[in-house]
Structure 1
Amino acid sequence: MESNSTVSGGHVDDSSDVVYLCDDTFDFNTINGAFFILIFIFSVAGNCLLLLVLIAHESLKDVTNLFILNLACSDLIFSVTLPFWAVYYLHHWVFGEIACKLMTAVYIVGLYSSTILLTAMTVDRFILVVLNNWAINSVKRQRFATVACVASWVIGSAASLRDAFKVKVEHYDGISSCEDPSDDHDINLGYYLQVSLLFFLPLAIIVFCYSAILKTVLQPSNRKRHRTVVVVLCIVAAFFICWGPFNVLLFIASFYEPKDCDAMERLEIAYSICRILAYSHCCMNPLLLMHSQTLRRHLLDLLCCKKAKKKNREIDIGQSASVNQNVHFVAQNSAVTFELHSE
């Protein structure tokens, strides 16, 4: 992390365009790389199983299932970038400038498409639960969900273009890095605008909607209704619990300057921990959704289908053999009885 101060012997000398020279700072790069690989493995496994369950056993005409399908795709797209960032932190950027731009774009598309999809899911629940007097039929809901899903991908892709064009591969002492070389003021201004519109504004909308939803659902006449509200609330809460600290820390770090090496080290550690928490979100949705008994049953059917079919086939073969033996035994007894009567 660059700064505008140089630290020498524990003292700070203010100057322009210089870098901290701190010794023995805690290196989180190996931990970051290891966690990114683990998150990638769990996310790909969980979200692929979730997609298979949705496609094989669930109706994609259902609005909630359509949103969950797109969320799983968004998490998978985000997860694809993690091995690249893992190699970056464990070694340095070895994939070239095109991959640098592409991975930055894919990262941002995965992040902001998830935010927009979760906001659309919340608004859908708000209309159904709080504004249930509105004449909304299934066709209108499906149309709204389809438009929201398409919009999430279009807006996420548009938001990624700025960063994708600006990032470059920089070389320092034989080490390559994938970063934005722009002036700090331009970076901060673009970040404020992007995060305000695509993170904090959706967060405000979601908080408003769920305040009204919970107020309605917690009424005595509604406590046993709207079970989907709880599922959507858990999914939304997991997203903002994971990504909230990271975005808040980035917002603070954009105008906060560490005064010494210790402050810089604490900021780096906090940044690394919050980033690992944020990236781990792509594993959360499959875990949360597997609390549904229906999805768990479908998953077990999917995983055990071959074993179950083989077992059923063996049972059928055993039953057929047993029936044949009984028939043969009865036939033998009948023949013996017939011979006795004949004598």
Structure 2
Amino acid sequence: MASTTTGIDSNDDFPITTILDYSHLYDYDEESSGMCRKSDVRQFAQHFTPPFYTIVFLLGFVGNILVVVIYALYKRLKNMTDVYLLNLAIADLLFLCTLPFWALDARFGWIFGNFVCKTVRGLYKINFFSCMLLLTCISIDRYIAIVKAVKARVSKQKIFLHSKLISLVVWVTAVLLSLPDFRYSSQNEGQQSCSTNYPGNILKVAGLAVQITVGFFLPFAVMLFCYSTIIWKLLQAKNFQKHRAIKLIGTVVSVFVLSQLPYNSMMIVKVMDAANITITDCETLKNVDIATEITQSVAFLHSCLNPFLYAFLGVRFRQDLLRIMKDIGCVGQRHLREASRPQQTIWKRSSVHSETDTTGTLSL
């Protein structure tokens, strides 16, 4: 968790740490060192973070593992959407697997050693960046499939091949952006904490700025352009149901903004504090740390919701999910037959959409 353990003395170095860093929770003697005592922040994190991360992990793991199982058992990768959704589910799963480490870190301090510290922080960042970049790719995919429907139909095979290359580029980019965490992360001497300690404030601020840009502003800007253009296209169309599609688009964008904006706003506050030393009051610092803890946890909920926003709203995904439930005895044959009846989608006017189940999220 990105947080700032900041001295009250203006001559002190004002360090800024990166996401999921709990070193700020350790107590500092305000009288002997001029530092802000944060035992109450640590106490809050000990009680709030572990159960919240456990819930996020369990819900997100079940949803994303179902997506992977459905692709493995019932689907072949037939289009860009399939490629991106499978990669997104894998990235979410790997991202969620780092949360138990941070839950234990918040409760007991870092007890896993230096090597695991570097590995977990690096893997966390790889999957964080890949998730956000894949959400960006999904938005562009929808834009092409709906706004550029004729072009998408003509070059369908070429676009599908490109999607595999784009997914590879996403993962390589995420690895490159995560290299500083592999390089500078370590278990702090004298403390049971794992953090990324950049050499110098300029590099620290730059690293956090990249996180904010790639983790929020880039996907949000692409979503805003692509989905607003899609809505405009829907409003021009006739003879098909468009209101549900617009509602689904609004849900996707709203969930992203409501889950990510508060946390990234706190990150901007911390960048400004690191660059200009804007926060010097101890109580304000503690309130910022607690607010960051809460907003970060809310941001992680997006990994739980991704399977429902981007996969299970699709008719075929729902049918395949029911088939899995039937195979394990959770639903009967009658329910499966009812769900398998032909269902009309909002994209009747374009065969490319019925073939690709355009993103599985704009279907009825």
Tell me the TM-score range normalised by the shorter chain: 0.7 to 0.9
Change (3 A) 1:157 1:236: farther
Matched, 1:263 2:279: no
Q: Which among 270, 276, 284 is matched to residue 297 of structure 2?
A: 276
Q: Distance in 2 between matches of 1:102 and 1:233?
A: 37
Residue 14 of structure 1: CA displacement?
A: 3.7
Matches within 5 A, 1:99-118: 99-118=116-135
Change (3 A) 1:231 1:138: farther
Deviates most, 132-141 or 301-310? 301-310
Equivalent residue number for residue 149 of structure 1: 167
SS of the residue corresponding to residue 329 of structure 2 reads helix
Q: Distance in 1 between matches of 2:207 and 2:40?
A: 33
Q: Distance in 1 between matches of 2:175 and 2:225?
A: 27
Deviates most, 233-242 or 284-293? 233-242
Deviates most, 247-256 or 220-229? 220-229
SS of the residue corresponding to residue 73 of structure 2 reads helix
Gaps of at least 5 residues in structure 2 are 14-33, 335-364
Gaps of at least 5 residues in structure 1 are 7-12, 313-343
Count of aligned pairs: 304
Matched, 1:298 2:320: yes
Equivalent residue number for residue 337 of structure 2: none
Residue 179 of structure 1: CA displacement?
A: 0.8
Matches within 5 A, 1:107-256: 107-134=124-151, 136-172=154-190, 175-182=191-198, 183-197=200-214, 199-221=216-238, 223-224=240-241, 234-235=251-252, 237-256=254-273
Structure having the higher Rg: 1
CA displacement 1:163-222 (0-9 Å, x = unmatched) = 2111111033xx311112223332002222443355423322221122211111122427
AA paired with 2:184?
Answer: K
Q: Is the 8 A contact 1:78 1:111 kept in 2?
A: yes
Q: Distance in 2 between matches of 1:310 and 1:266?
A: 52
Q: Distance in 2 between matches of 1:308 and 1:240?
A: 35
CA root-mean-square deviation: 2.9
SS of the residue corresponding to residue 85 of structure 2 reads helix
Change (3 A) 1:222 1:105: farther
Q: Which has the higher contact order (CA 8 A, sep 6+)?
A: 2
Q: Is the 8 A contact 2:325 2:331 kept in 1?
A: no
CA displacement 1:138-184 (0-9 Å, x = unmatched) = 21120121122111111111111112111111033xx3111122233
SS of the residue corresponding to residue 118 of structure 1 reads helix
CA displacement 1:286-329 (0-9 Å, x = unmatched) = 233334443233212212214389999xxxxxxxxxxxxxxxxx
Normalising by structure 1, report the TM-score. Answer: 0.79
Q: Is the 8 A contact 2:129 2:214 kept in 1?
A: no
Matched, 1:56 2:69: no
Q: Distance in 1 between matches of 2:156 and 2:65?
A: 28
Q: Distance in 2 between matches of 1:71 and 1:302?
A: 21
Q: Which among 58, 82, 85 is matched to residue 41 of structure 1?
A: 58
Q: Is the 8 A contact 1:50 1:286 kept in 2?
A: yes
Q: Distance in 1 between matches of 2:100 and 2:330?
A: 36
Residue 232 of structure 1: CA displacement?
A: 6.9
Q: Distance in 1 between matches of 2:65 and 2:6?
A: 45
Residue 226 of structure 1: CA displacement?
A: 11
Q: Distance in 1 between matches of 2:220 and 2:81?
A: 19
Deviates most, 286-295 or 137-146? 286-295
Normalising by structure 2, report the TM-score. Answer: 0.74
Change (3 A) 1:244 1:201: same
CA displacement 1:81-117 (0-9 Å, x = unmatched) = 0011111001011111111111111111111111111
Change (3 A) 1:78 1:24: closer
Q: Is the 8 A contact 2:132 2:214 kept in 1?
A: no
AA paired with 2:266?
Answer: L
AA paired with 1:147?
Answer: L
